[in-house]
Amino acid sequence: MWSSSDATESVRAAFESSMPQAEIPPTERPIVVQSDATVLLETQSPWAAAARNALSAFAHLERSPEYIHTYRITPLSLWNAAAAGVTGEWIVRTLAALCRYPLPELVRTEIAEQIRRFGKTRLVLSRERVGFLRLEIADPRLGLELERAKEIAPFWHEREDDALLVPTFHRGAIKQALVQLGYPAEDLCGYATGEPLALSLREITCSGDGFRLRPYQVEAVDTFHLGGGPRGGAGVIVLPCGAGKTVIGLAVMARLQVSTLILATNTVAVHQWRDEILDKTGLDPHLIGEYTGAEKEIRPVTITTYQMLTHRGSRTEEFRHLELVRRSQWGLLIYDEVHLLPAPVFRVTSEIQVRRRLGLTATLVREDGREGDVFALIGPKRYDLPWRVLEERGYIAEATCCEIRLQLDEARQVEYALAEKSDKFRIAAENPRKIHIVEELISNNPDDSILVIGQYIDQLEHVAGDLGLPLITGKTRNSEREALYEAFRQGRQRVLVVSKVANFSIDLPDASLAIQISGTFGSRQEEAQRLGRILRPKARSARFYTVVSRDTTEQIFAAKRQLFLVEQGYRYRIVNWDER
């Protein structure tokens, strides 16, 4: 059974309410479950929506093209489900009701095993020893195994009856190690209250001021909070760019009413968070602090950057600003773009498990494969919705993607052929012929607000200089960046050339066309974020162009970059520029 206090009850209810009263005939069932734990969903089935609602609770969506969506049931997806209160029996029963063919025994066994593993270890407060937690292990044989495991040896102090005593400050580190061992701990230690802070959202008035949470935003907040019990209060919300993740963060703050530290990607994002707080809550401006290179204010709501926290004078110095995260007053930590967490912030986050933690992201994809660390240290995935579902409901813009391929000129082809392998990608990415495509796209789309995005500063400087366009890079002063962004928002500047500083947390709601001329190798995460720059809801559809050099390593990396968006249901139209 599902726990009645869990907000995941809404997923179960959505599934059961959309199912027919009678059993679905086997030939009409919408999914096929294979022995490798992949699940194929036939999107044209009348029961596809019900199946998608159910699968979102315990499987990871890998690909979602037109007719067949592919999900995968993984240990991490099952641990996420177990953390939300889903049982293995419900998963098996649901799959059996929807599966066209008999459920493979291997899959049935793996579901039971991984769900069972989540409950094998749990952390609770020690009643006898102040400053210690008890790692309780249900199976005595597993207890002997873990007691001897070198991965957790540094983090426990001594054995106490059927448990291992763990110093409180190792709460995160031992959870991280247990995930790596395949026995994730259920954390029932609860959270420190933090300093109280009265905060309320502005409700819509008769004059039209204020705003109203969208239904999925309400669901996300409820699911994160989970009634305030020991399981609730930590986890990750996954929604596409433009879906209002910042608003969800504010709603969580209003629900908890505690002092909050917000970690953002850059100073511009810090200022955007401040503006959103002032616009959508009644909080006094004097209660909001900025902790950046320009300001060092610590207030009941403090906003800082990952870069600030990981800054140090030399490689041998300590990260002195990490002490800000350790301060005792915070009742909530919000990690914007949580998939970007740098290693030092992972480290300090392992020390502050006593705080409630909310991660916000468009994708949990990490190129270093550390999604498990996000699960262990921030919390399980609490809520997500497919990009295309929100597009269909009108909450994000409809978007089309196009890859434009063009040849290197003859001289550059020779240079490319003779270059070292490590240099080939940049030679292809900086193809000078790309500037003509950029110029033509800008000229052919006079009614669009356009972003030209790239990786290499020299390339961007050439484009901006030749076409007479303003350029924003990491060297651009924050005041100048914000002035250019504001001019773009107001329509006084129609085209901006931007480096990777614009990949994250930049609110440019009118941007409708993006031209990507170079990127960070095969980064799926970056591809998704760049499309996200143009997904704010608007009257016109969004278009995303990627310009690549044909028959080069750049074309190969482009296919890898596109993988995440293809899995979300986006298609890339291919145009060979030289063959038009």
Question: What pLDDT does 223 receive?
Answer: 85
Give residues with Cβ within 8 angstroms of 400, minimum separation 6.
541, 542, 543, 544, 571, 573
Query: What does the alpha-carbon distance between residue 455 and residue 519 come to, in Å, rounded to a whole number?
Result: 5
Same topology between domain 215-385 and domain 397-579: yes
Q: Taking the C-alpha atoms of 385, 386, 390 and 396 in order, what is their torsion angle to the nearest 10 degrees?
A: 110
- Band of pLDDT at residue 1, cut at 50, 70 and 90: very low
Give me the sign of the Cα torsion angle 54, 58, 64, 68: negative
pLDDT at 20 over 70: no
- Band of pLDDT at residue 195, cut at 50, 70 and 90: very high
Fold classified for 215-385:
Rossmann fold (3.40.50)
According to DSSP, the residues that pair with 125 across neighbouring strands are 133
Query: What does the alpha-carbon distance between residue 515 and residue 496 come to, in Å, rounded to a whole number?
Result: 10
What is the maximal distance between C-alpha atoms in the chain?
Answer: 77
Mean pLDDT of the 510-533 span: 84
pLDDT at 521 over 70: yes
What percent of the chain has a predicted confidence (pLDDT) above 70? Answer: 92
Mean pLDDT of the 329-342 span: 87
pLDDT at 540 over 90: no
**Contacts of 33-38 spanning 24+ positions with Cβ under 8 A:** 33/95, 33/99, 33/101, 33/103, 33/104, 33/107, 34/104, 34/107, 35/104, 35/106, 35/107, 37/72, 37/73, 37/74, 37/107, 37/110, 38/62, 38/70, 38/71, 38/72, 38/73
Question: What pLDDT does 204 receive?
Answer: 59
Residue 132 is inside which H or E element, if any? strand 132-137
pLDDT at 230 over 80: no
Taking the domains of the chain in order of start, what are their residue ranges?
9-118, 121-187, 215-385, 397-579
Output the DSSP codes for 276-341: HHHHHB---GGGEEEESSS-B---SEEEEEHHHHT--SSTTS--GGGHHHH-TT-SEEEEETGGG-
pLDDT at 229 over 80: no
Q: Where are the beta strands (DSSP E) in 385-510?
A: 399-406, 449-453, 471-472, 495-498
Contact between residue 555 and residue 541 where contact means Cβ atoms under 8 Å apart = no
CATH of domain 121-187: 3.30.780
Q: Which phi and psi angles does 403 have, rounded to 5°?
A: -105, 120
Contact between residue 337 and residue 265 where contact means Cβ atoms under 8 Å apart = yes
Mean pLDDT of the 36-44 span: 93
pLDDT at 17 over 60: no
- Band of pLDDT at residue 22, cut at 50, 70 and 90: low
**Is the domain covering 397-579 a CATH 3.30.1330.100 domain?**
no
Query: Cα dist. 94→35, 52, 53, 500 in Å?
Result: 17, 11, 11, 43
Mean pLDDT of the chain: 86
Pairing of strands 163-167, 132-137: antiparallel
Instruction: Enter the pTM of the model.
Output: 0.80
End-to-end CA distance of the chain: 59
Give residues with Cβ within 8 angstroms of 475, minimum separation 6.
none
Mean pLDDT of the 318-344 span: 83
What percent of the chain has a predicted confidence (pLDDT) above 90? Answer: 47
Question: What pLDDT does 145 receive?
Answer: 92
What residue has token string 């996000």? 374
- Band of pLDDT at residue 156, cut at 50, 70 and 90: very high
Mean pLDDT of the 272-296 span: 92
Q: Nearest-5° angle of CA 412, CA 416, CA 422?
A: 140
* Range with top average pLDDT, 6-20, 101-115, 474-488, 521-535: 101-115
Mean pLDDT of the 75-95 span: 89
Pairing of strands 301-305, 260-264: parallel
Burial call 99-135: b when 16+ CB within 10 Å, e when fewer: bbeeebeebbebbbebbebbebbbbbebeeeeebbbb
